[in-house]
Amino acid sequence: MLNNLLKMTAITLIWKKYRRGIVAIAILIAYCWLVAIIHQDYLSYRALAGSDDTLGLSFILKWLAWLVGFAVYFFYDSDPAKAAAQRPVAHSDNNIHTDASDQPPRGDTDAFSAIRDKKKLRSKADVVIDKHRP
């Protein structure tokens, strides 16, 4: 039972992390399979009809359809928004900018403007310590 739980957990983690890629590959495989089935059906029809005059064109169209499918897949896979979302964000506490353009706008709608404008910030612990000092 624990083995099944571990397997399901691993599958769930893999699905959550790679869902977009798994779905894209599955759609690409289904598309290529569908194009191949349609082409095979066309070849069977042409064999029964006894005409081979457009046989070469059918192969060109099949390969073009496959190339379009791969191009759509690679365009979908190289989406810039997805790449930016997957890129790790580096946070550096050492580089604190105090430029005015980096500061959020201050106004009546800013709930923290009163806290930012105080000269000295004190916590509850500071108040308790000050009360108990002789």
Residue 11 within a domain: yes
pTM for this predicted structure: 0.54
Residue 41 within a domain: yes
Mean pLDDT to the nearest integer, 105-129: 77
The pLDDT, as a whole number, for residue 101 is 54
pLDDT digits (tens, 9 = 90+) for 13-36: 998 988 888 999 999 999 999 999
Residue 108 within a domain: no
Measured CA to CA in angstroms, residue 31 lies from 27, 38, 67 at distances of 6, 11, 11
Residue 96 within a domain: no
The pLDDT, as a whole number, for residue 75 is 87
Q: Which residue has the higher pLDDT, 116 or 105?
A: 116
pLDDT digits (tens, 9 = 90+) for 33-90: 999 999 999 999 998 988 878 888 999 999 999 999 999 998 887 765 665 565 555 5
The pLDDT, as a whole number, for residue 95 is 47
Number of domains in the chain: 1
Residue 9 within a domain: yes
Residue 58 within a domain: yes
Residue 52 within a domain: yes
In which domain, by residue range, is 70 found?
2-86
- As given in the structure block, the two tokens for residue 127 are 């108040």
Residue 125 within a domain: no
- As given in the structure block, the two tokens for residue 4 are 């099944």
- As given in the structure block, the two tokens for residue 108 are 């009546």
Which H, E and C letters describe the chain, residue by residue?
CHHHHHHHHHHHHHHHHHHHHHHHHHHHHHHHHHHHHHHHHHHHHHHHHCCCCCHHHHHHHHHHHHHHHHHHHHHHHCCHHHHHHHCCCCCCCCCCCCCCCCCCCCCCCCCCHHHHHCCCCCCHHHHHHHHHCC
